[in-house]
Amino acid sequence: MGKHLLLPGLLLSLPMTAAWTASNCLVTEGSRLPLVSRYFLLCPMDSSLPFLASCILVTNLTQTLEAVPQHVEGLCLSGSISVLPPDAFSRFPGLKVLGLNLHFTQLLPGALRGLEQLQRLHFIGRRTDFLYLPPDALGNLSSLHHLAFIGPCLDGSLGVRLPPSLRWLGVTYSCLQNVGVLADIFPDLVLGSSSGDAWSLDTLDLSFNYRLNMTRPGALQGLQLRTLLLADTKMEVTAVVESGLQRLDVLSVKKPNMVELPAKVIAHFELQELHLQLTRIGNIAPEALSSCHSLRSLTLQNSFLSDLPPGFLTAMPKLQTLNLAANKVKIAMLCTNGTEAESGLQTLDLSQNGLYTIPPDTFSCLPHLRELLLQDNKLAYLDSQVFQGLRKLETLDLSGNLHIALGEDWLASLPALTTLNLLDTQMVLNLTFAFRDLERLHNLRLRLPSGPPWKLLLPVGLVSLELHTISGMKPWMLVPDVFPVLQTLTLKGWGLQLEVQNVSKIFPVLHQLSLLGNSLEALCSQGTSSFFLWQLPRLKQLWVRGSGHSLRPCCITGLPSLQELKLQGLQSRAQPRPVRLEELVGELPRLEVLQLQQTGLETLSAAAFQRLGSLQVLVLDWEKGIVLDDSLQEQSPQMPQYMYFLIASLACQCANAWVGHWLERSPRTYVHIVSPQLCQPEAGGGSKSPLFPFLRSHCPKTLELGLFLGSFVLVLLLIFWPLLQEARNWIRYLQALFRAWLQGLRDQRGEDKLFLYDVFVSHCRQDQGWVVQELLPTLEGCLPAGWGLRVCLPERDFEPGKDVADNVADSMVGSRVMLCVLSQEALCTPRCRLELRLATSFLLAAPYPPALLLVFLEPVSLHHLPRYHRLAWLLRRGDYYMWYKGDERKDNFWAWLGSRLRQPG
Ligand SMILES: *[C@@H]1O[C@H](CO)[C@@H](O)[C@H](O)[C@H]1NC(C)=O
Ligand SMILES: *[C@@H]1O[C@H](CO)[C@@H](O)[C@H](O)[C@H]1NC(C)=O
Ligand SMILES: *[C@@H]1O[C@H](CO)[C@@H](O)[C@H](O)[C@H]1NC(C)=O
Ligand SMILES: *[C@@H]1O[C@H](CO)[C@@H](O)[C@H](O)[C@H]1NC(C)=O
Ligand SMILES: *[C@@H]1O[C@H](CO)[C@@H](O)[C@H](O)[C@H]1NC(C)=O
Ligand SMILES: *[C@@H]1O[C@H](CO)[C@@H](O)[C@H](O)[C@H]1NC(C)=O
């Protein structure tokens, strides 16, 4: 039946329910960027920008940009455009970040005109694309500080002026072979060009220019640089010395054929930081060390290192950060078997070094160490001797050392420890005493061992705790029984003994909870409808990632502060079953972001959104066959402002036919559907066709005509309503009575009466919540849980284009039972009074009267009922009932209603 809104009150909800979309563009608020970040991967977007858009498959720039809201501050375009025309972005004067992933050939003069606020500009293209920039293409971008060319070849452009505000220049993945050519393209970089002074930049990124192998001596004469990035080029690192750079502080190189430390470069520039990765250095020559005294940070990752020369740390007195990850370093030499002088080192990364053991005194020269990373080694035993002297150590990572055994007092020498990671280990450790005396430990990540004593004694000051458990192990008891400052809790698998009732006392300030694996099931009630049991009044973020085994959904409900909820992988892989949104989420009044991924979600209806009054963003990912129930159209509370269907498909069903039309209306809910939506016609398996046009041509067309007529009549009604209301009502009333009487006569003549509906439900707008949430699910729900009745609901089932009173009268005549939902509010609205009046008149006029039932949602003085005396005479005692909230009394109510609906008349 078509949708039709006749009542002026409902008119007000029209703009709220409408949706909009921007064809192939995804629009988001910056603060929500992480939810859809994979659609912004190529663009340097930053979540501090208020409003962002990313458009794909752009073939007509003008057309695409027309759909983008004018106040976006970040814009990312990808498509097959090759020429940017003048004033291409003049509609967006507030643009701060622009990423263009196009098939470039040319920027016409003035293409970027008007972008005075632009701060970051990225050109992304294929290495085979040539991009021609006119000399003044960038000169007027007076706020630009970050400029990157990723891919396209710039070789044809010459003399391009750079804006003075520029701090970061990247030319990567391009055809660049010679650094000298770069200076020809951007002459501002070099001293002696027209601007007079040489440039000063924070960063010059020339990484991944696989063919870059030359530099003209003096090519970058006078350029002052803080950082030079040279990963994966063929350029000799020593050539940097001859390039004429006036200053260089940080050099980062990834170069598989490098065999020794670039001592000459370090010494020439007195480098502060050197980051080398994937080299073949192997051993560091003691002579090379002598030039390293200026280094504050050194990375020698994945460089086949084994021996460290004696005096390695002494040679670098300023060194604070040393990263030796993924080597085979003999660490005894770090402090030269305990003879090295004290070093100021603060961070040491020795992960993935295949270490079996750590000899005593290894860290004896590092009293200032704050962070020690030893993950993914093969450490077997550690005792307190190992960490002797690390009195300032704050962070220790031992994760991934599979078979580590830890001595009784192994942490005793680490009084400053705040962060400890023991994940992915099969520790042998007496946990009753393990963390004793670690008063400052705030962050602990731990895999629970499977052995006794099953009592986990933790520091009371923990702020964040992550526990992994092995399935089938005996549950552990947490001691102490209150964690007064614990804010973040992650549980992978369930292995704890916790009282559900007082969990809010155990974790009084918990903000963030992650339940991974099967831990949700342990926190779910076991009744017919299962719901989340932990009552955590302060919880703001909840992430549930299931293991694909749970057979029924657990409704997350009753968390008054929850703002973000992510449900992932909850559907059973073996027995998938479609769920309704209201089975997954219940009453969450503050929820702003809801992310659903592989939950088996099928139906979205108004009933679920009504309990999510603050919802702003809904993200559906890896969900298929979704049905947007048309109750959403009349969604009186509010739909979320943003709905993203990422890898998600709408079902090819007529129930979704209204959506296409809804999306074309004016703004309120932004809907973005990423995947193309196709329909496979059932019979014959013909070719797939786009969803909405298909539904439009195959589903009954009542919708649009109904809407047209509806709005037309609505406008008329609005104009004349006040004048005509009373008079009309009476005329209609008499007509309806007459028809009912005729109908009654006909029925009497023995013609079978066929009812269109089982129940006509009359209610006022204020009581709609009760009707939708309580009444309809039972009446309309499928057997055996529901009663499977055909219900006529005025807002939903009225025939479009027909007068209110006609509609009411016809629907009443066509229904077996009339049910009036009454409250104080209802009795004050003219329509409810009219419906009640009509209903009582029918009882009199029709020889075989349909039944009339009254439901009171609150106590109402009977004398407020219209025609009370007549009603009192007509109604039998069992024809009205009061609804109370308590469970037991609800049962009585349903029993009454059930019995009355089954024996009408
Ligand atoms: C691009 O779209 C605009 C507006 O929709 C239209 O006027 C123009 O002709 C289109 N250009 C091309 C090349 O199709
Ligand atoms: C740059 O700005 C100057 C002065 O406002 C103007 O004359 C010139 O046309 C602009 N150039 C471009 C490419 O927009
Ligand atoms: C740089 O590489 C090109 C080819 O990639 C080669 O022709 C040229 O000789 C190389 N130049 C130097 C200095 O290695
Ligand atoms: C350090 O100890 C190792 C064995 O533990 C030994 O082979 C090496 O010679 C010692 N080095 C120095 C400088 O004492
Ligand atoms: C743990 O240590 C306590 C005290 O030293 C001892 O009573 C208990 O038996 C130990 N448990 C294990 C499994 O070693
Ligand atoms: C939690 O509840 C149990 C029983 O319901 C009680 O024995 C225990 O003392 C409670 N713990 C706290 C911290 O209130």
Atom 4, ligand 2: which residue's CA is nearest?
140
Atom 5, ligand 4: which residue's CA is nearest?
332
Among 602, 597, 593, 691, CA closest to 643:
593
Q: Give the number of the ligand closest to the Cα of residue 80.
A: 1
Mean pLDDT of 29-36: 94
446 CA to centre of ligand 6 in angstroms: 25
Atom 12, ligand 1: which residue's CA is nearest?
60
Instruction: Report pLDDT for 8.
Output: 31
Mutational pocket test of ligand 6: of 482, 499, 500, 501, the residue with most ligand atoms within 8 Å of the beta carbon: 499
Q: Does residue 15 have a pLDDT over 50?
A: no
Q: How many CA atoms lie within 13 A of 546 on its CB side?
A: 25
Q: Give the number of the ligand closest to the Cα of residue 62.
A: 1
Strand order in the sheet with 623-628: 579-580, 601-604, 623-628, 648-650
User: Is the Cβ–Cβ distance between 817 and 709 less than 8 Å?
Assistant: no
Q: Give the number of the ligand closest to the Cα of residue 430.
A: 5
Atom 5, ligand 2: which residue's CA is nearest?
140
Residue indicated by tokens 């209301």: 725
Among 101, 96, 114, 241, CA closest to 179:
241
Instruction: Report pLDDT for 563.
Output: 97
Q: Tell me how far CA of residue 250 lies from CA of 198, 265, 743, in angstroms.
A: 19, 11, 92
Mean pLDDT of 83-92: 93
Atom 2, ligand 3: which residue's CA is nearest?
213
140 CA to centre of ligand 2 in angstroms: 6
Q: Give the number of the ligand closest to the Cα of residue 59.
A: 1
Confidence of residue 79 (pLDDT cuts 50, 70, 90): very high
DSSP letters along 819-885, please? Answer: EEEE-HHHHHSHHHHHHHHHHHHHHHHSSSPPEEEEEESS---GGGSTTHHHHHHH--GGGEEE--S
Confidence of residue 883 (pLDDT cuts 50, 70, 90): confident
Q: Give the number of the ligand closest to the Cα of residue 60.
A: 1
670 CA to centre of ligand 1 in angstroms: 25
Mean pLDDT of 620-640: 80
Question: Bigger pLDDT: 66 or 198?
Answer: 66
DSSP single-letter state for residue 524: B
Classify residue 95 as left (phi > 0), alpha (psi -120 to 50) or beta: beta
Mean pLDDT of 151-157: 89
pLDDT in tens, 218-253: 889 889 999 999 999 999 899 999 998 999 999 999
Q: Does residue 86 have a pLDDT over 60?
A: yes
Q: Does residue 515 have a pLDDT over 90?
A: yes
DSSP letters along 367-405, please? Answer: TT--EEE-TTS---EE-TTTTTT-TT--EEE-TT-TT-E
Instruction: Report pLDDT for 232.
Output: 93
Of 449-463, 468-482, 668-682, 747-761, give the lowest mean pLDDT range. Answer: 747-761
361 CA to centre of ligand 4 in angstroms: 12
458 CA to centre of ligand 5 in angstroms: 15
Confidence of residue 475 (pLDDT cuts 50, 70, 90): confident
Distance CA 371, CA 712 (A): 71
Q: Which residues line ligand 6 (CB under 6 A)?
A: 481-482, 499, 501-502, 505-506
Q: Tell me how far CA of residue 202 lies from CA of 83, 199, 247, in angstroms.
A: 31, 10, 11
DSSP single-letter state for residue 143: T
Q: What mean pLDDT value characterizes the chain?
A: 83
User: Ligand 6, closest atom to CA 482?
Assistant: 13
Confidence of residue 351 (pLDDT cuts 50, 70, 90): very high
Instruction: Report pLDDT for 844.
Output: 65
Atom 9, ligand 3: which residue's CA is nearest?
213
Q: How many CA atoms lie within 13 A of 15 on its CB side?
A: 2
60 CA to centre of ligand 1 in angstroms: 6
Question: Is the CB of 83 within 6 Å of ligand 3?
Answer: no
Q: Does residue 768 have a pLDDT over 80?
A: yes
Mean pLDDT of 52-75: 92
Instruction: Report pLDDT for 854.
Output: 84
pLDDT in tens, 668-695: 788 888 877 888 765 555 677 888 888 8
Distance CA 665, CA 661 (A): 7
**∠ Cα 541 547 551 (to 5°):** 100
178 CA to centre of ligand 3 in angstroms: 9
455 CA to centre of ligand 5 in angstroms: 11
User: Ligand 4, closest atom to CA 359?
Assistant: 5
Atom 10, ligand 4: which residue's CA is nearest?
337
Is 705 strand, coil or helix? helix
335 CA to centre of ligand 3 in angstroms: 44
Question: Is the CB of 450 within 6 Å of ligand 5?
Answer: no
User: Ligand 6, closest atom to CA 502?
Assistant: 1
21 CA to centre of ligand 1 in angstroms: 19
pLDDT in tens, 282-338: 989 888 898 999 999 999 999 999 988 888 999 999 999 999 999 999 888 888 876
188 CA to centre of ligand 2 in angstroms: 18
DSSP single-letter state for residue 619: E
Residue indicated by tokens 């000298």: 180
Q: Which residues line ligand 2 (CB under 6 A)?
A: 109-110, 113, 136, 140
Instruction: Report pLDDT for 731.
Output: 62
Instruction: Report pLDDT for 709.
Output: 56
Bridging pattern class, strands 51-58 and 25-29:
antiparallel
Atom 14, ligand 3: which residue's CA is nearest?
213
Q: Tell me how far CA of residue 137 lies from CA of 161, 196, 529, in angstroms.
A: 8, 20, 64
Q: Give the number of the ligand closest to the Cα of residue 479.
A: 6
Whether the upstream peptide bond of residue 484 has omega within 30° of 0, thus cis, is no
502 CA to centre of ligand 6 in angstroms: 6
Among 824, 838, 660, 836, CA closest to 734:
838
Instruction: Report pLDDT for 667.
Output: 60
Atom 2, ligand 2: which residue's CA is nearest?
140
pLDDT in tens, 393-436: 999 999 999 888 887 778 888 889 999 999 998 877 776 667 77
Of 106-120, 140-154, 247-261, 842-856, give the lowest mean pLDDT range. Answer: 842-856
337 CA to centre of ligand 4 in angstroms: 6
Mutational pocket test of ligand 2: of 136, 141, 143, 160, the residue with most ligand atoms within 8 Å of the beta carbon: 136
Q: Tell me how far CA of residue 28 lies from CA of 390, 595, 644, 741, in angstroms.
A: 47, 15, 10, 59
Instruction: Report pLDDT for 10.
Output: 32
Question: Is the CB of 357 within 6 Å of ligand 4?
Answer: no
Q: Give the number of the ligand closest to the Cα of residue 61.
A: 1
